[in-house]
Chain A
Amino acid sequence: MGPFETGGTVLVAALVMIFLRAPVGLALGLAAFAGAFALLPATAAISLMSRVPYEFTASWEFAAVPLFLAMGTIITRSGMADGLIILAERSLRRLPGGLAIATNFAGAGFGAASGSSLATTVALGRMAIPQMLRAGYNPGLATATTACAGTLAALIPPSIPLIVYGILAEVSVAKLFFAGIVPGLLTAFAYGAMIYLRCRFNPDLAPRSETESDETVGWSVAAFPVIAIVILGGIYGGYFSPSEAGSVGALAAIALAFCQPGFNWRELALALAEAARQTAAILFVAAGAFMLTRTMALTGLPNALADLVQTWSVSPLLLILASSVLFLLLGMVLDPFGVMLLSVAVLLPAFERLGFDLIWMGIIIVKFIEIGLVTPPVGLNVFAAKSVAPPEIGLTVIFRGVSWFLLAEAVVMAILFLFPALTLWLPNNLL
């Protein structure tokens, strides 16, 4: 069998197992092992695969994952996000769709202190969805805003997907963090503009509220910009690396959380246990994908694909458009990490060969992951929004509401494709 047949068989086997409800990490690892077993002597294949679990996780760079996840879970459990939503609501409620716009920007702010899209959606949704529904907002708009605002955490640093991409693609995580800022803010503004225009032309979607909220905004709302500035400033100033920044963020989150009413040692222990479990879930998949990357290298498929792209003189634009369609299709049926890790394993050499900047490519891939989080049938953020919405709001209503956000995403993606400098200016000039 040639590289396309062997590599293709391994990939198809992994996808079939994933569709048959096997855990993604298990499916990727098992397919990788079977591939290695077919290509190498049995002892070599066993030795290769049995070394991966320790060698892969015993990583300095991956330390950022549990630490940033801990920061996010502590902030979520402490209720600090509530103040952020109240502040955003007070500033923006007089605009058409003001509460939804406020939720959207609160999502961007919360993303700066949490690397997890799901955590952001749940934290925002618990407070913002009931508030919007009480104000008479369209249920599709209220829930879709929360689901989509949560996706901003995937780009706005610190971002777990960017850390994992950086390590697997062997590019600077610090550069990726800075590269994510402009696309993240651009997406937040595009969402905000779309909500504003929809509600301006169809006021029934979001009746204007004249009553002021009487809830007080605690000082804790300042925590979000402070944590973001400390993390990015520390990395930029060379005081600590992205991995160490996670520890600074988590310790700062603990200190701020204990100043919140109701936060105690038990809550801290539960938040840390949640972060440890999430870390295990993410790195189990990443380890499976790493095994797959090694097997793919043995089959020669990624290089054969890169050769083919070069031989056929495929234009960079065509490659990126074809990949985009692939990412969108895979994002609809696979979990976001699966899409990213498979694309790194198979497509990265072709992108490299055609001279794509891997930092820009990382942002584009994570943007597609973000879109995959809200597209049916596997839209994890939509499920998260559903879990905190009233039970009478069905998934169809949320997915219908999300379709408007996808239009905004199409505009943002076109801008990012046409002007890569928007993404690369900050990392190239600051680092």
Chain B
Amino acid sequence: MNRIGRWATQAGQWLAVAALVAMMVHLGADILLRNIAARPLDGTLEVVAGLYMPFVVFAALSATHLNREEIRVDLVGNFLPQTAVMLLDRAAQLLMAICAAALAWLTASHAMRAFDIGQRIEAGSLVIPLWPGKAIVTTGFVLLAVAALVRLFGKADNGSV
């Protein structure tokens, strides 16, 4: 699971990078066309909010976790014995894995519903399906649960992807 988890996490990270680049270029093109030719790209706001942003955040979430870059307060670590700190960390990983799995389960129903009923936004000539943005939320939580399990059962290393 360790190797598969790390590979999936890395794939998620590069998917987030692809979404970030797409958002950057899309917005740049829209600004240029709007200000020079007075012809903005249809649906820029909707695509940025509904597609790029969930991909940037949720595809990279597990890489953040596996790289130990999540925001955390290390206050008691200086005062407790090493074993107690390790136990607290493992408990936090277990809690994270359970919560991420639960959120994956709960958000999956939103994604499936969006797919089943063909939920979409129409912006000018553009029709934007909502299910990919919702599906990446579920995928992101699945990967986060995997990353938490890798950290739970892995060595107390730096775990970089």
Contact = CB atoms under 8 A, between A and B. Distances in A.
B24 A54 contact: no
Interface string B47-65: 0111011101111110111
A26 B147 CA distance: 14
B112 interface: no
Contacts of A26: 92, 95-96, 99
Contact of A279 (B14, B27, B49, B57): B57
Interface of B (DSSP majority class):
helix
B71 A23 contact: yes
Interface residues of A, number: 56
Contact of B31 (A247, A272, A285): A247
Interface in A272-309: 272-273, 275-285
Given A248-B31, A378-B75, A279 B60 contact: yes
B74 A251 contact: no
Contacts of A279: 16, 56-57, 60
B97 to A, nearest CB: 11
B142 to A, nearest CB: 13
Contact of B17 (A24, A276, A284, A377): A276
A240 interface: yes
B22 to A, nearest CB: 11
B49 A21 contact: no
Contacts of B30: 244
A46 B99 contact: no
B54 A58 contact: yes
B70 interface: yes
Nearest to B134: A54
B13 A273 contact: yes
A22 B85 CA distance: 11
Interface string B15-42: 0110011011101101100010000000
Most chain-B CB neighbours within 10 Å: which of A20, A60, A280? A280
A280 B25 CA distance: 20
Q: Which of B17, B65, B99 has the most CB of A within 10 A?
A: B17
Nearest to B56: A66
B63 A280 contact: yes
Contacts of A338: 71, 73
Contact of A333 (B75, B92, B106, B107): B75
B70 A281 contact: yes
Contacts of A267: none
A247 B20 CA distance: 10
Nearest to A23: B70
Interface class of chain A by DSSP: helix
A27 B28 CA distance: 37
Contact of A58 (B72, B95, B133): B133
B2 interface: no
Contact of A67 (B24, B60, B63): B24
The interface centre, meaning the residue of A19, A57, A248 with most chain B CB atoms within 10 A of its CB, is: A57
Contacts of A51: 110
B24 A70 contact: yes
B27 A18 contact: no
B58 A57 contact: yes
B13 to A, nearest CB: 6
Given A247-B31, A278-B69, A58 B60 contact: no
A50 interface: yes
B72 to A, nearest CB: 5
A281 B67 CA distance: 11
A51 B58 CA distance: 14
A248 B85 contact: no
7 contacts: A58-B53, A59-B53, A251-B25, A277-B63, A281-B71, A285-B71, A334-B73
Closest 7 CB pairs of A and B: A247-B27, A50-B106, A276-B16, A276-B60, A280-B60, A280-B64, A23-B70
Interface of A: 18-26, 29-30, 46, 49-51, 53-54, 57-60, 62-63, 66-67, 70, 239-240, 243-244, 246-248, 250-251, 269, 272-273, 275-285, 333-335, 337-338, 377-378
Given A280-B60, A338-B71, 13 more contacts: A22-B96, A23-B70, A53-B141, A54-B54, A66-B57, A243-B48, A246-B27, A273-B17, A276-B59, A279-B60, A335-B73, A338-B73, A377-B78
